[in-house]
Amino acid sequence: MIDTTCTIAGILFKNPVVMASGTFGFGREYAKLYDINKLGGISGKGLTLKPREGNSGIRVWETAAGMMNSVGLENPGIPRFLSEEAPYWEDLNLVRIVNLGGGTLADYTEGAAMLDEDAKKRAAAGHPAVDMIELNISCPNVKAGGMAYGIQTETAREVVRLVRSATDLPLIVKLSPNAEDIVSMAVMCQEEGADGVSLVNTFSAMKIDIRKRRSVFNNLYAGLSGPAIKPIALRMVHQVCKHVTIPVMGMGGISSVEDIVEFIMAGAETVQVGTHNFVSLRAGEELVQGLEAFMRSEGIRSLGEIRGIL
Amino acid sequence: MTTASILDNTRISSDVYLMTVSTGKGGSPGQFYMLRQWNQSPLLSRPISIFDAQGDSVKFLYQIVGEGTKRLAGLRKGETIDIEGPFGNGFPQVSGRIAIVGGGIGIAPFYYALRTMPEADVYLGFSREPYLVDEFRKLTDNVTVDVGGYILDKVDFASYDKVLVCGPNPMMKAAQRKNEAAGGAGKVFVSLENRMACGIGACLVCSVKSGSSRKKACADGPVFAVEEVVFDD
């Protein structure tokens, strides 16, 4: 029997394959293509207290083995998520993570409190919809805040502390590779009582249209993801894993079973898969099956045997 | 990923190709598939609309505009391609006097559309060499062609109940202005070709401004009533 399970804050993941925020909607679209309950978990589209329209102009640009996006946190807002999407999540059999973003400190705390209150109601009714909050302090596409909180450890500390005190839900913090010191950021999250960290978000990047002599993005910079960033992401995950005891969700360009194994060997408890969902719409199913097959062929009975061996 | 074999891939004009793929998934006019036959570079699949669908095959008309379409053009009969679809809403079922207006590679979804509404008048505009005009003429006598000008100038919106438009963005914006002048709502439909990543409505990169909200070109569209769309710039 192959054991692919993972645990964060006492929450059991069937396997380490978690779909990354912003690449998987709230799961409905992919559920038409395969049974998403086979996944370890999903982190839903990043939510803010109020709905956001996102950025205007071009939102995606391909680059060598990668893509840049400038969606700008377009989302329906937490209240609409709770009324329209959470009922769908109630029926899912996988770890359901809300990705919480914000522009101001008040947005973050009010958003976290609203999620917390709703989670308690649904739990009391026996129909929980949200298992965990992933705090996004690192979205690079929002001018009003987002990025600013994700760069300096002491600025981020304030957000993490406030959100931590606003909810009893398990809390993981999603870190930006653009942080001044990603290790100190992760250590801070542990100090402030986060149950885990996830990293890395996209790298702040740029593309210039040389004919028009301007950035192709209205927001100037955009977030780079995909296989191009994997080696750097892996190094950062490895460094962070060496310095914290809370679980790490590793991500950044994961496109294969081998990539997943690398992140786990670097110390990650689970991984997150983002851009690869666009490369193969059935990536989740393929990776879950592929990981089991790999473990069987390598004689690995549980992920604990290989986790953090480097 | 779903793999299909290529039954044919023929050059139609200097940079336009027609690919026939073996799949029984069909689809309706105006829908599209996500195509790819590469691994990490380019990274994303290419959304290509259905040129025709019959029995166990689907045809795609595409123009070489970048690395992805260049790769598609290099594929040979007998090779395989990864496809997912069909996706998107497709053209609405319409009746009455219908005009179909395609500009350049924007003619792609209209051959299939015309097969389902053979009574429509067809307007095809090309900036340089025209292509596939004879194929459209096999389906109807009412084909008007323009080369080097503005095909929309040849369409009298007032004489039609519905006008379906697909072409470069400036052409669709022009269709919007003509429609506003004629004061019609629910009359002119455009098929957008925004850059996409997932193709199924999850990633929001193909987002279209629509009134005070946003819609997804891939899942809510690609066909929209023209008055719903707020074009960029």
Q: Are B30 and B89 in contact (CB under 8 A)?
A: yes
For range B208-219, the mean pLDDT? 92
Q: At residue B76, what is the residue type?
A: R
A204 in the Ramachandran plot: left (φ > 0), alpha (ψ -120 to 50) or beta?
beta
**Are the Cβ atoms of B205 and A62 closer than 8 angstroms?**
no
Please choose, from the candidates A165, A168, A166, A160, the residue with its C-alpha nearest in 3D space to the C-alpha of residue A136.
A160
Residues of A in contact with B197 (CB under 8 A): 60, 67, 69, 275, 278
Q: What pLDDT sits at residue B203? A: 96
For residue A174, the surrounding DSSP H or E stretch is strand A171-174
pLDDT for the residue A200: 97
- When pLDDT is averaged across residues B182-208 and rounded to a whole number, the result is 91
pLDDT tens figures, A285-302? 999 999 999 999 999 999
Residue appearing with tokens 């992920």: A303
Indicate the pLDDT class of residue A139, thresholds 50, 70 and 90. low
Q: Select which of A6, A139, A189, A241 is catalytic.
A: A139
What is the average pLDDT across B160-179?
93
Examine residue A64 and state whether it is found in any structural domain, yes or no.
no
d(C-alpha B124, C-alpha B48), whole Å: 19
Checking DSSP bridges between strand A171-174 and strand A196-199, what pairing results, if any?
A: parallel
In a domain, A114, yes or no: yes
Mean pLDDT of B171-190: 87
pTM of the model: 0.94
B204 near A CB under 8 A: yes
Q: Is residue A68 part of a domain?
A: no
The residues that bridge with B35 in the sheet, in sequence order, are B46, B83
- Binning pLDDT at 50, 70 and 90, where does residue A115 land? very high
Cα A51 to Cα A22: distance, rounded to the nearest angstrom: 15
pLDDT band at B184 (very low <50, low <70, confident <90, very high): confident
Position A37 in a domain: yes
CB pairs under 8 A between A and B: 96
Q: How many domains does chain A have?
A: 1
List pLDDT tens digits, range B92-118.
999 899 999 999 999 999 999 999 999
**Under DSSP, is residue B112 helix (H, G, I), strand (E, B) or coil?**
helix
What's the average model confidence in pLDDT over B137-151? 94
Over 80: is that where the pLDDT of A146 sits?
Answer: no
Q: Report how far apart the first and last C-alpha atoms of chain A are (Å, whole number).
A: 25
pLDDT band at A142 (very low <50, low <70, confident <90, very high): low
pLDDT digits (tens, 9 = 90+) for A237-285: 999 999 999 999 999 999 999 999 999 999 999 999 999 999 999 999 9
Whether A217 is covered by a domain: the verdict is no
Cβ neighbours of B34 in A, within 8 Å: 281
Residues forming a β-bridge with B99 = B121, B163
Report the pLDDT averaged over residues A5-10: 97
A221 and chain B in contact, CB less than 8 A: no
Q: Is A21 on the interface with B (CB under 8 A)?
A: no
DSSP codes of every residue in A259-310: HHHHHHHTT-SEEEE-THHHH-TTHHHHHHHHHHHHHHHHT--BGGGTTT--
Per-residue pLDDT, A130: 98
Q: Which residues of A touch B200 (CB under 8 A)?
A: 29-30, 32-33, 281
Query: What string of DSSP letters covers A37-102?
Result: GGSSEEEPSPB-SS-B----B--EEEETTEEEE-----B--HHHIIIIIHHHHHT--SEEEEEE--
Q: What pLDDT sits at residue A138? A: 72
Domain of residue A191: give its range: 6-54+73-204+226-305
* A171-174 and A132-136 strand pairing: parallel
The residue whose two tokens read 């590679």 is: B105
Give yes or no: A139 in active site.
Answer: yes
B residues 95..124 contacting A (CB < 8 A) = none
Q: Give me the mean pLDDT over the B136-140 stretch.
A: 95
Q: Output the average pLDDT for chain B.
A: 94
Cβ–Cβ contact B210 with A under 8 A: no
Shortest CA distance from B35: residue in chain A:
A279
The two tokens of residue A16 are 């380490």
Report whether B175 contacts B226 (CB < 8 A): yes
Which tens digits make up the pLDDT trace of B58-85? Answer: 999 999 999 999 999 999 999 999 999 9
A106 touches chain B (CB under 8 A): no
Secondary structure of residue A191 in the 3-state scheme: helix
Contact criterion met (CB below 8 Å) for A261 and A298: no
**Which pLDDT score is estimated for A50?**
94
Query: What's residue B183's pLDDT?
Result: 72
Q: What is the mean pLDDT of residues A132-151?
A: 71
pLDDT at A85 over 60: yes
Q: What is the pLDDT of residue A102?
A: 87
Q: Is residue A143 pLDDT above 60, yes or no?
A: no
Question: Across chain A, what does the average pLDDT equal?
Answer: 95
In a domain, A118, yes or no: yes
Interface predicted TM-score (ipTM): 0.92
Nearest Cα of chain B lies from the Cα of A99 at a distance, in angstroms, of 14
Name which of A25, A60, A71 is nearest B201 (Cβ-Cβ): A25
Q: Give the other-Cβ count within 10 Å of A158's Cβ.
A: 13
Q: Token pair 């689907």 is at which residue? A: B58
With 50 as the cut, is the pLDDT of residue A81 above it?
Answer: yes
* Residue A275 near residue A225, CB atoms below 8 Å: yes
* CATH number assigned to the domain comprising residue A241: 3.20.20.70
A145 falls in which pLDDT band (50, 70, 90)?
Answer: very low
Q: Which residues of A touch B69 (CB under 8 A)?
A: none
Residue B175 near residue B188 (C-beta atoms within 8 A): yes
Cis peptide bond N-terminal to A200, omega within 30: yes
Residue A63 domain flag: no
Q: Which residues of A touch B207 (CB under 8 A)?
A: 54, 59, 71, 74
Question: Is 90 exceeded by the pLDDT of residue A108?
Answer: yes
Q: Is A81 inside a domain boundary?
A: yes
